[in-house]
A and B are shown apart, each in its own frame.
Chain A
Amino acid sequence: MEVQKEAQRIMTLSVWKMYHSRMQRGGLRLHRSLQLSLVMRSARELYLSAKVEAHEPEVPLPPVRSPDPRLHQSWEAEAVAEAAPPDGEQSSPEPMDTREAPRAEETPALCAPRPTKVSRKRRNSSLSDGGDVGLVPSKKARLEEEEEEGASSEVPDRLQPPPAQAEGAFPNLARVLQRRFSGLLNCSPAAPPTAPPACEAKPACRPADSMLNVLVRAVVAF
């Protein structure tokens, strides 16, 4: 758990550094961005492997659930349900999905306000597509992007990047950071843990994790 928290803290820190490096004179530095993305990738791997280890001893349950009961599920039940097969990659979409709805419902004050109904619908639709075999990261990234498009109007103003820097050499990165970062800061791990300790890190992990996937690509895709 400590490892998980530490890895997540490093991921958050890396995202912040990435965002901050855009503000520096001289523009984004390729070497620095590469180093930050390497650390983010290692942190993500560490986080995922630590999560898998943490859940391994628990009884595995069938991962298939309907979205509505998930909304009303208690945190404990959810934690047990997340003890999916040991394969880290396959289990991650499920916990991602389960966490999302309760988080949106139970911690509205902490996170960027997102219409739960809208997100639920979108998750269903993307899941039922069925065409997303493998490639967990892209699925998560797309999920987030669909939501974000719906919630973009609700992004808090306090994290508007300076207008002069909004566009530049790396417009895609700018947009990604603008959306992701605001969400991440609102769901910081420092928020009072209203949820049981087993899940307290999760509300913040979700945006960081998907952000990481997008960011890891965005970093070098300029």
Chain B
Amino acid sequence: MPSGTLAPLGSGSGSALSYWGPNEPHLPVSPPTADIISTVEFNHTGELLATGDKGGRVVIFQREPESKNAPHSQGEYDVYSTFQSHEPEFDYLKSLEIEEKINKIKWLPQQNAAHSLLSTNDKTIKLWKITERDKRPEGYNLKDEEGKLKDLSTVTSLQVPVLKPMDLMVEVSPRRVFANGHTYHINSISVNSDCETYMSADDLRINLWHLAITDRSFNIVDIKPANMEDLTEVITASEFHPHHCNLFVYSSSKGSLRLCDMRAAALCDKHSKLFEEPEDPSNRSFFSEIISSVSDVKFSHSGRYMLTRDYLTVKVWDLNMEARPIETYQVHDYLRSKLCSLYENDCIFDKFECAWNGSDSVIMTGAYNNFFRMFDRNTKRDVTLEASRESSKPRAVLKPRRVCVGGKRRRDDISVDSLDFTKKILHTAWHPAENIIAIAATNNLYIFQDKVNSEMH
């Protein structure tokens, strides 16, 4: 089996590393809304994993260093820090409540001992700095241990304060607040490879910010029509190229991708490349338009490819070919005949994310019934796995699942009609280097690791 793949696919060697969620047995009640995880993101080394939830909180997990004494306890992720990033706000001018839900978190590349991340809700982006404190100064001249001022008459000699070790304390502070940049709801943020700028995108506009400047941003894409009645498409996601700081891509609700070059003009309304696949007339249905909307776009680590997710498929695009994707993978094509029901229960509007593995050979995305799917681009094999409490006991091996669509039904197959559409995996993340994945299933976070090939080559 070639290295760098989740292997062997089909026999499920993935094992549960950590499970974060409520300890009580699974109750058939929906979890409190505030606890629902809304975004998951590894940092650039994979040492830290950040999650945001609907209640505006951010929880950061840190991977425990692997202990030589216990080689079997591969580094597990433990809670490192928790903080309230955003609070609900009220826009008095429009009489609208602004949700505190964290839409996206993006880590900044680490430049010193501190870690920094950007978190955003619908309207405001914040830069948070996470620092560790494991020493404290002791032996002040003017203050005593509790911090109270000493009686000067008792001070007879001078001493130099000494740093003494203390219990690790993680401090988080908001360093920048980038507010009032967006009229519509922010759907994505992306840090530029220049490590100085980042962009934020809402339904109609994309703004470029400097990480150090909060009172100004440059508008680089504006697709708002002069007459709003002529509106036909909105921006759904955007991302900077991983290496070329002048390139970025944004996806639309019509299923197209636009690659823009910031060197071409100040306002990048005219795309440099338009990636669009002509619609397959045989697949045309009543809901074709809305299921073609791209919910997520991700550049490959190499920068050569883009991955997009629409309601039923994931597609790999080559930056050099605009006419059509080079690969298309069906995530849950058995839903194609059920679009009307999915429209009724609003599931058709679900926005699934997608992810590359570190070597760009495997792609992953979520589905319903707490299933998530992985596609190996080289072997063309795919697997469906389930994030459930039963399958997540530590060291448990994940068993591949199958959805049967009629015909021969195997023992453990799930029929389409018994899929639980309230259990959806919208947010997934893949460790940048290793075969470790983070899966957000409603209010639970699952972290799985592939033991066989835990290192990418």
What residues of chain A have their CB less than 8 Å away from a CB belonging to chain B? 10, 13, 17, 25-27, 29-32, 34-35, 38-39, 42-43, 46, 164-165, 167-169, 217, 220-222
Contacts and interface: CB of A to CB of B under 8 A. Distances in A.
A42 B344 CA distance: 15
9 contacts: A10-B343, A25-B97, A31-B234, A32-B349, A39-B286, A168-B96, A169-B96, A220-B228, A221-B228
Interface stretch (B287-295, B314-322, B359-367, B373-381): B287-295
Contact of A30 (B184, B340, B346): B184
A31 B349 CA distance: 10
Q: Is the interface of B mostly helix, strand, loop or mixed?
A: loop
Interface in B188-243: 203-204, 228-234, 236
B interface, size bucket: 20 to 34
Given A29-B185, A35-B290, A39-B287, A167 B229 contact: no
Contacts of B349: 32, 35
Contacts of B88: 25
Interface in B305-350: 340, 343-344, 346, 349
Nearest to B185: A29
B69 interface: no
Contact of B185 (A10, A26, A167, A220): A26
Interface of B: 88, 94-99, 101, 122, 184-185, 203-204, 228-234, 236, 253, 286-287, 289-290, 293, 340, 343-344, 346, 349
B95 to A, nearest CB: 4
A153 B355 CA distance: 55
Nearest to A46: B286
A168 B97 CA distance: 10
Decide if the interface of chain A is mainly helix, strand, loop or mixed.
helix
A39 B236 CA distance: 18
A220 B229 contact: yes
Nearest to B93: A169
Contacts of B344: 13
Given A34-B253, A220-B228, A26 B98 contact: yes
Nearest to A164: B95
A168 B95 contact: yes
Interface pairs A-B: 5 shortest CB-CB: A27-B96, A26-B99, A30-B203, A169-B94, A168-B95
